[in-house]
């Protein structure tokens, strides 16, 4: 069996592992295994490709694997759960940068046919946009850049000129591939366009942006695969690109908004923020919360980013077990865009070993909301805001939410009365059936648990 056959078999095996791993990622119960299977497929693909091309000697390949593995293991173990969205944004960005570099290098070995030049331009363009766009998303998510939309006069005209500049340079480079000045200009403009692409998008739309940038990183890899004529890279990039687009569509549907509205509306800008909501807040202490929970038969827990900040998922699981021992049914209502990235709350709850059987989607919990004795909202805000259902002037209006305000009693765990990440005030806090349990969510739930123990 010659080396070409062995390499093709390895590529087929890697592609099969990618597809099977992606299928496993569709369920929280198998997602971890799916991630591992996909990573094994990529490991095989990278090693076989490097050996095939004779790019590096084996000792350098092993050194690269060791260094990369150490960095990845250290990052995975040290990153806080609250910083997971930022880490995903960086992963997308570096994936885009890698595709940009692959496309650039392909210029020196892939020939100068028109098709190859076009794929190189696409790889460089999409990779550059993904890289700087992801860096801006990382900055917004980490608080290093203001999460509100950044808008200025003439912004659309500036973006149009950027796209025209990229198009013109792309055509000129295709006509004259030996003139690398055009390629350098395309790289520079793609970096600028990536920045301009993300800065007008508000923090409340970051889950959509992350899934879209994930798709872009896949499309960039696919273009790079065409540039270097690597079928496996084309397959892997296509899978990532397609899955990212599907996830983006799901996120947009969960917010009842079109993708164009997310990208171009400047959601969360000062002119769109609704005014202050007036009413009387009814605070509650842990002891009173305990008495209400002790008598409850059905409890719904709605997690949000505040649960991640407080690292409260473990005490939430402990409270769930105490309630279940008391004969109470406990389920979790997880909104598709809760947190800062798709699946953020599922990851948090999985870390605390919360059973997947009690995780319910919005469409499953809303029809039975009236039957819940208590709905406990932990750090969520925008995804439970009744203004989305009641106030046509609210920028959230029309967004599907978890209708916790219909439950018999609502506990809202928050540090303060501050608005959510989208910057929209929440009238839920002033409803007659709402009680506010102020303070750190982890400490507040721990106090309730101590009441049960006592």
Which residues form the catalytic set? Answer: 382
Q: Which of 303, 446, 439, 311 is nearest to 379 (CA)?
A: 303
Cβ contact 130:213 at 8 Å: yes
Instruction: Return the residue matching tokens 């793609």.
Output: 190
What are the CA-CA distances from residue 245 to residues 208, 213, 249, 356 (Å)?
10, 9, 6, 25
Instruction: Return the residue matching tokens 């790289």.
Output: 187
**Residue 299 — φ and ψ, nearest 5°?**
-130, 135
Cβ contact 337:255 at 8 Å: yes
Q: Are strands 374-378 and 298-303 parallel, antiparallel or unpaired?
A: parallel
The strands making up 359-361's β-sheet, listed across from edge to edge, are 359-361, 329-334, 298-303, 374-378, 409-414, 434-438
**Which residues pair with residue 446 across a beta bridge?**
none
| Terminal C-alpha separation, the chain | 72
Token pair belonging to 211: 């899934």
**Residue 438 — φ and ψ, nearest 5°?**
-80, 150
**Which residues pair with residue 254 across a beta bridge?**
none
Cβ contact 186:172 at 8 Å: no
Token pair belonging to 228: 């270097």
> In sequence order, what E strands does 258-372 have?
298-303, 329-334, 359-361
The enclosing H or E element of 411 equals strand 409-414
Token pair belonging to 93: 């960005």
How far apart (Å, rounded) are the C-alpha atoms in residues 309 and 322? 23
The enclosing H or E element of 438 equals strand 434-438
């Amino acid at each position: 069996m010659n080396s070409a056959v062995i390499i093709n078999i390895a590529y087929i095996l890697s592609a099969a592992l990618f597809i099977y791993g992606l299928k496993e990622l569709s369920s929280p119960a198998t997602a971890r295994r799916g991630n591992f299977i996909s990573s094994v497929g990529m490991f095989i693909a990278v090693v076989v490709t490097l050996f095939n091309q004779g790019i590096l000697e084996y000792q350098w390949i092993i050194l690269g694997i060791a260094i990369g593995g150490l960095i990845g293991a250290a990052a995975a173990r040290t990153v806080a759960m609250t910083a997971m969205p930022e880490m995903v944004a960086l992963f997308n960005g570096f994936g885009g940068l890698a595709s940009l570099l692959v496309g650039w290098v392909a210029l020196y070995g892939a020939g100068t046919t028109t098709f190859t030049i076009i794929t190189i331009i696409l790889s460089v363009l999409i990779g550059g946009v993904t890289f700087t766009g992801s860096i801006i998303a990382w900055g917004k998510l980490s608080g290093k850049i203001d999460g509100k939309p950044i808008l200025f006069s003439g912004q659309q005209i500036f973006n149009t000129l950027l796209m025209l500049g990229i198009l013109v340079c792309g055509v000129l480079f295709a006509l004259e591939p030996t003139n690398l000045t055009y390629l350098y200009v395309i790289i520079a403009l793609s970096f600028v366009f990536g920045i301009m692409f993300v800065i007008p998008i508000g923090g409340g739309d970051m889950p959509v942006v992350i899934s879209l940038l994930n798709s872009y990183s896949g499309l960039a890899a696919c273009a790079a695969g065409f540039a270097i004529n690597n079928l496996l890279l084309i397959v892997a990039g296509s899978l990532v690109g397609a899955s990212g687009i599907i996830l983006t569509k799901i996120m947009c549907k969960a917010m009842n908004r079109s993708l164009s509205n997310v990208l171009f509306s400047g959601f969360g800008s000062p002119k769109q923020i609704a005014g202050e909501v007036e009413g009387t807040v009814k605070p509650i202490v842990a002891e009173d919360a305990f008495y209400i929970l002790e008598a409850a038969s059905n409890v719904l827990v709605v997690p949000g980013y505040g649960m991640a900040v407080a690292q409260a998922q473990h005490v939430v699981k402990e409270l769930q077990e105490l309630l279940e021992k008391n004969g109470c049914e406990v389920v979790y209502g997880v909104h598709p865009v809760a947190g800062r990235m798709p699946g953020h709350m599922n990851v948090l709850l999985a870390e605390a070993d919360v059973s997947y059987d009690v995780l319910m989607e919005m469409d499953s919990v809303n029809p039975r909301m009236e039957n819940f004795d208590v709905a406990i909202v932990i750090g969520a805000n925008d995804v439970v805001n009744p203004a989305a259902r009641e106030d046509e002037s609210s920028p959230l209006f029309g967004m599907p939410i978890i209708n916790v305000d219909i439950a018999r009693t609502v506990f809202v765990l928050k540090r303060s009365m501050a608005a959510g990440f989208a910057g929209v005030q929440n009238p839920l806090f002033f409803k007659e059936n709402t009680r506010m349990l102020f303070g750190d969510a982890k400490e507040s739930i721990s106090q309730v648990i101590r009441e049960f123990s006592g």
